[in-house]
Amino acid sequence: MTAPNALIAATIDHLGRFAPFDRMEHDHLAWLAGRLKLAYYGKNEVVLPADQGEVQTFYIIKQGAIEGAQNDKEAWLELHEGECFPIGALLARRPVVSTFRAQTDVFSYELPAADFHQLLRLSQPFHDFCTFRLADLLAQSQLQTQAHYASTVSAQQSLETPLAEITRRQPITCGPETPLGSALETMREAKIGSIVITDEAQRPLGMFTVHDLIGRVILPNANLDTPMRVMMSPDPVTLPSTAHAFEAALAMARHGFRHILAVEGDRLTGVVSEKDLFSLQRVGVTQVSTTIHAAANLTQLQKAADDIRQLGHNMLAQGVAAEQLSQILSTLNDLLTERVIELECAASNHCRHPFCWLAFGSEGRLEQTLATDQDNGIIFELAPGENAEEVRAELLRFADRINIALDACGFPLCKGDIMARNPKWCLSLEEWKSTFARWMDNGDPEALLNASIFFDFRSLSGKEALAEELRRWLLARIADSPAMLHQMAANALHNSPPLGLVRDFVVASGGEHARTLDLKVNGATPFVDAARIFALATGVAATGTAARLRAVAPRLNIPRAEVEGWMSAFYFIQLLRLRRQHDANEAGQAMDNRINPDQLNDLDRRILKESFRQARKVQARLAMSYQV
């Protein structure tokens, strides 16, 4: 018998508050609700043991909390209202590997396994969620993020802008019988790249652009007296002048055109180019890059640094993924630093010694966010007979001016003094090797901390071969230092993801950071640390966390799906950091990495919990590899 209609309706209403049920069709939800049974479990009662064979039931928590633990060890998983389990075991038709126990009094909806598999076939949202759970949740969160930030982008930067506001200039036209030579002369005089062919009523008949020159004029050696009706591309794509810019962008994408004509009725009112659409974004990647390359002084570079941060905001609004956004921000910051170095080299005589400017930490990994300080150093090369102290003294004066200039551009001086102006981090190639070797041999807490920062070095400017030689040496040397890798793994495992057993998250209990957690230290760092250790152990030269994980997976026989889950979690945490920093900056507050999880929406809280679980999984893999 099916449950009474009122009970089904109440169940549908309750489930509809949680993913993936909030996106399922009503008929499929009703089908599910009619087959669910409600069960109760007392505190500490076993809900699903690990030794009962193939799983026969799908559970959805209606009320209370459930924890999962393996072999009577400390619980590693905590599930709350709206969450479901054990999806992986049901999909694989296998037993669970953890014992699930009621942490509090629990009410749960329960569905037979056969009905679970039937629902997978009925409902695409349910299937997608169960098959790609974290990726599916992330896609929903990305849409929410995009909608949130898009609402704050100014009209001047929006693809919602009507075409009439973009086409401020009268279009340049000619008649269909106009000779080719005359049309080209008109284009040259007007300094334009296109001309519209219209009839006497200004109805567009065709289009001719500079891109047509090679194929239609130069190669066939066309006669300049040829009428434009022969040379034009007929039937140009038009949109009403009231259409929005994004419609023009879609039309260009569909047809492969660089120009769209705006009309009122059938009369031409303007021409919208691809360049016009990109210029709507007041700050674009190419524009910022061009500004940096052309900067002649610190004031211009400071403006470019502001534009980089504005670009980060725009890209959040456009839904750019955290991985791409971090890489773009880091790349532009690289260009800015390179330009600072170029200007200083041009103004002084301190670049006569071969050197390489190194980036460490997040910049070395191409993982910078909106709030980042300086972590840099110098490798220099000694010519026969040169004295390291004399060369260092000269380069330190040079580095000091660069560090100060970067500080003026919004990259604060490192509080730990990990900067090229510090004599400790302005070293010859042999001195760097000696320093790294000492850390690997000692393995004390300071050495382990330094390894977590300096082993992520990357060449940023200057003689890149010096950094490449140091990387080759490091990978060869650490392969002979298994004790160092073991110590690095043990040290990394001291930093546990902040998942609680009483509450969802472990947060600071008092002081100015009360009820918050640090997304960088407790969230991103477990992934970064594990990726670094795996890369060093397997000889992978990459420094980025994602690049390292992708490279080490086949060498360590880690399933690709497992690694993709780690990276999805890592980049969601990175996205939360970017959002936190942007919001703080907009509010005139100091940018940091701390969030109050109680202020997240239900979807983001759920994904953050899953991301921390993924951090525990990567740490479990690390612990297993090094028997920690």
The SS3 assignment for 511 reads helix
Closest CA to 411 of 325, 465, 350, 340: 340
Side chain identity at residue 141, one-letter code: S
Q: Using the 8-state DSSP alphabet, how is residue 293 labeled?
A: H
Exposed (0-12), middle (13-18) or buried (19+): which is 514, by Cβ within 10 Å? exposed
What confidence score (pLDDT) does residue 135 get?
Answer: 57
Q: Which residues of 228-257 are buried (b: 16+ CB within 10 A; e: fewer)?
A: beebbbeebbbbebebbbebbbebbeeeeb
In DSSP terms, 84 is beta-bridged to 60
Q: How many CB atoms lie within 10 A of CB 267?
A: 12
What confidence score (pLDDT) does residue 130 get?
Answer: 83
Query: How many angstroms separate the CA atoms of 363 and 326, rounded?
Result: 10
What confidence score (pLDDT) does residue 438 get?
Answer: 94
Query: How many angstroms separate the CA atoms of 216 and 212, rounded?
Result: 6
Backbone angles phi, psi at 60, to 5 degrees: -125, 120
Closest CA to 620 of 460, 453, 489: 489
What confidence score (pLDDT) does residue 317 get?
Answer: 66
Complete domains list, the chain, with CATH: 5-131 (2.60.120.10), 163-279 (3.10.580.10)
Q: Is the peptide bond before 86 cis (omega within 30 degrees of 0)?
A: yes
CB 427 within 8 A of CB 378: yes
Query: How many angstroms separate the CA atoms of 468 and 459, rounded?
Result: 8
Q: DSSP string of 384-438?
A: TT--HHHHHHHHHHHHHHHHHHHHHTT-PPPTT--STTSGGGEEEHHHHHHHHHH
Q: State the pTM of this model.
A: 0.66
What confidence score (pLDDT) does residue 1 get?
Answer: 40
What confidence score (pLDDT) does residue 25 get?
Answer: 93
CB 582 within 8 A of CB 313: yes
What confidence score (pLDDT) does residue 143 get?
Answer: 59
What confidence score (pLDDT) does residue 607 get?
Answer: 84
Structure tokens at 225: 């007296």
Q: Is the peptide bond before 20 cis (omega within 30 degrees of 0)?
A: yes
Low-confidence ranges of the chain (pLDDT < 50): 1-3, 153-157, 280-283, 502
Backbone angles phi, psi at 71, to 5 degrees: 55, 45
Q: How do beta strands 37-41 and 594-595 pair?
A: unpaired
What confidence score (pLDDT) does residue 520 get?
Answer: 93
Query: How many angstroms separate the CA atoms of 558 and 549, rounded?
Result: 9
Using alpha carbons, list the distances in angstroms from residue 396 to 355, 403, 422. Answer: 12, 10, 7
HEC string of 71-112?
CCCCCCEEECCCCEECHHHHHHCCCCCCEEEECCCEEEEEEE
Residue with tokens 């532009």: 332
